[in-house]
Amino acid sequence: MTDQPTVGRFDGRAHLLPVRVYYEDTDFTGVVYHANYVRYFERGRSDFLRAIGIGHAQLLEGEAPMAFVIAEMKLHFVRPARIDDALTVRTTYDAVKGPRLMISQVIERDGDTLCRAEVTAVCIHLDGRPRRPTKALVEAVAPWLANTGDAG
């Protein structure tokens, strides 16, 4: 048996990913450097998809290869995370509209919100042009959306 990193778990529509703050994540005061929240959010979005059976490698190697770019990300910093904190990245995929996926995320420590993000990811062809997500992606994410009527 090989140890594998966790992909987190689901709580209702929300995917929960545990993240530990390491020394490398912090500035000289032991507080998480602001850009690292973006990295934690990326892990949450990626592991959400991995947990529902959609891996990035699979999307790149499929019959109609695709990837994601972030078109918009609004961050609201509430409280600082610090070295050695055990955090949870809470991710919900809210809607699929054309090539866009609307995603809400929160980083928490012991149930307290530290940072919130509203994210718009866009599906693209490998040459960078926007495209609709694959049918497999839409079908996999549809049960998790705020309003399943938004899929497609």
Catalytic site positions: 27
Q: Tell me how far apart the alpha carbons of residues 26 and 127 are, in angstroms, rounded to a whole number.
A: 35
Kindly state the tokens that stand for 52. 């529902």
Quickly list H helices, the chain. Answer: 35-51, 56-61, 135-141
Closest CA to 109 of 92, 140, 86: 86
Q: Is 109 helix (H, G, I), strand (E, B) or coil?
A: strand
Rg (CA), the chain: 16
Give the amino acid at 117: A
Q: Tell me how far apart the alpha carbons of residues 90 and 11 are, in angstroms, rounded to a whole number.
A: 9
